[in-house]
Amino acid sequence: MPIDIRPIAPADIPAIAALARATWLDAYAGIISRAQIDYMLAQRYDPAQLKADTENPEKWLHQAFIDGIRAGFAACEICGGEFKLDKLYIHPDMQRKGAGAALIAHVAAIARDRGYPGMILAVNKKNEQALRAYARYGFQVRDKTVTDIGNGFIMDDYIMEKHF
Ligand SMILES: CC(C)(COP(=O)(O)OP(=O)(O)OC[C@H]1O[C@@H](n2cnc3c(N)ncnc32)[C@H](O)[C@@H]1OP(=O)(O)O)[C@@H](O)C(=O)NCCC(=O)NCCS
């Protein structure tokens, strides 16, 4: 199936926020509480925040379409001098069709073009589907972190890296 990758523009933001919500509710049920999902969605997918992200030259937001249907998106940024995959979300109905792999290949090309030797990401230690996917994409666990994100919530993550 043809997979088309395009930058996320301000006009796409409502659709991206809705896609993020559907994907988070599916992916994180059983991993973090519903209260934490709602808290993190409000923090990260507020339209004003997403619009600011699209305008930041040190952030890259791209979406993938499969047969013309919006399947998912990725967001990257520079973090501590490293190129970081900050978000990768494929709608539950569109998973395992190669959109995640296509987005990873696309952002890895951006990182390589800018001279970064690799890329990193953080993934919840219990997110087995994502851990399998990242291993498939060539990432390895480098570290683990527990981050206090306020309101009594934490993120309990592995840091993974992939060298080009
Ligand atoms: C993890 C995710 C980004 C992978 O993207 P994708 O487009 O679904 O996956 P791809 O088609 O590129 O396949 C890559 C690998 O992912 C794994 N995978 C994807 N969906 C899977 C599923 N439903 N069950 C088991 N493994 C799965 C497989 O290992 C697959 O490789 P394989 O088919 O050769 O075995 C996507 O499934 C997703 O958005 N999941 C929910 C949100 C999430 O956890 N995001 C990551 C946050 S850090």
pLDDT in tens, the chain (164 residues): 799 999 999 999 999 999 999 999 999 999 999 999 999 999 999 999 999 999 999 999 999 999 999 999 999 999 999 999 999 999 999 999 999 999 999 999 999 999 999 999 999 999 999 999 999 999 999 999 999 999 999 999 999 999 99
User: pTM to 2 decimals?
Assistant: 0.97
Helix (H) or strand (E) holding 84: strand 82-90
Which domains are delineated in the chain? 3-120 (3.40.630.30)
Q: 81 C-alpha vs ligand 1 centroid, how far in Å?
A: 27
**Residue of 95, 128, 144, 162 to mutate, ligand 1, most atoms within 8 A of C-beta:** 95
Rounded Cα distance, 55 and 23, in Å: 24
| CA dist list (Å): 156 to 48, 112, 123, 146 | 27, 29, 8, 5
Rounded Cα distance, 53 and 63, in Å: 14
3-state secondary structure of 25: helix
